[in-house]
Amino acid sequence: MMNSITSSNILLTLYLALIAQASIVVKRADSSSTSSASSTSSSPATISKPASANLTTENQALAPFQDGVFEFFGWTNPTFPQYHNSCNITNQRMINGALIDTLEVSSFARDRLLANGTSDEIYKRWFGDAPLFTVAGVIENTIQGVKDDLLFRCDDPQGGCAANPTSWWGYHVLNTTGETNFCDLFYSGKKPLTHICFEGTIVEVGPTLYAGIDLFHRYFHLDQMSSEGYIGEYTEELDDILALAQNNATYAVRNVDNYLYYLADVYAEAVIPGGCLGDLSEN
């Protein structure tokens, strides 16, 4: 059986208050799950009332969001992967926080796209003259697209985390189409969005330092989310990412890292006066 597990300006304080009161609910896969996530698929996440005080510690940790939280970020029906039973309560709480950040940072990107279109300076920096519809569609599908076959694991089934304890944050599980594993380094090394600009400029630290942006990127290691490789990691080097936007916009909108820098750039400018992109002159 699967337990319901679920799936965060007007003001930053409101956002923090929402997080303090609730946690995201996603589905948890039973221990009988096979390597394929298809046998543990779930319907889209639902929203229910906060946990009452007499619930167990575990149920309180997994209590769903209050009504209206998804709408607060402008998403009507965000969808989430399932958890494998190897992800304990602590794993889930930390990944849930990153999922909340993914909803938030994507909502800022969506709203800026709709407000400013392709004439926007930040849009041009990362996507050049590419059509807005592709970028908007990718962001929309990443947040609200079907994720029934996606599974989050925490058991290091291929030993990649153990073999690379200081460099691997996670990995796509080979010979599966929808499984991604989180290493311990993800929990200790990735930062919440509230740290943006505190850790250094985006150019210095990279957008995936932030857990919510890193999760956005991890979706595209999975065939269902990448449209069988339509979206991919064609280049991760900043100078090449910028060159794609200026010289090959067709591929800029297909390159994962163009989206990651766009998300971080938009969000930083929205929450910190002037943002913290950093110096691009060397790239």
The Cα-based distances of 151 to 82, 193, 214, 225 in angstroms read 5, 24, 16, 12
Q: Is 59 helix (H, G, I), strand (E, B) or coil?
A: helix
Name the least confident of 96-110, 219-233, 264-278: 219-233
More confident residue, 59 or 256: 256
- What integer best gives the mean pLDDT of the chain? 81
pLDDT band of 226, cuts 50, 70, 90: confident
* Cβ neighbours around 163 below 10 Å, total: 10
pLDDT band of 66, cuts 50, 70, 90: low
Rounded mean pLDDT, 81-87: 94
* pLDDT of 245 strictly over 60: yes
pLDDT band of 262, cuts 50, 70, 90: very high
Please state the domain extents for the chain: 4-271
- The pLDDT of residue 146 is 92
Strands 25-27, 82-83: pairing is unpaired
More confident residue, 145 or 36: 145
CATH superfamily of 4-271: Collagenase (Catalytic Domain) (3.40.390.10)
- How far is it, in rounded angstroms, from Cα 6 to Cα 128? 37
- The pLDDT of residue 227 is 79
* pLDDT of 267 strictly over 60: yes
- The pLDDT of residue 230 is 83
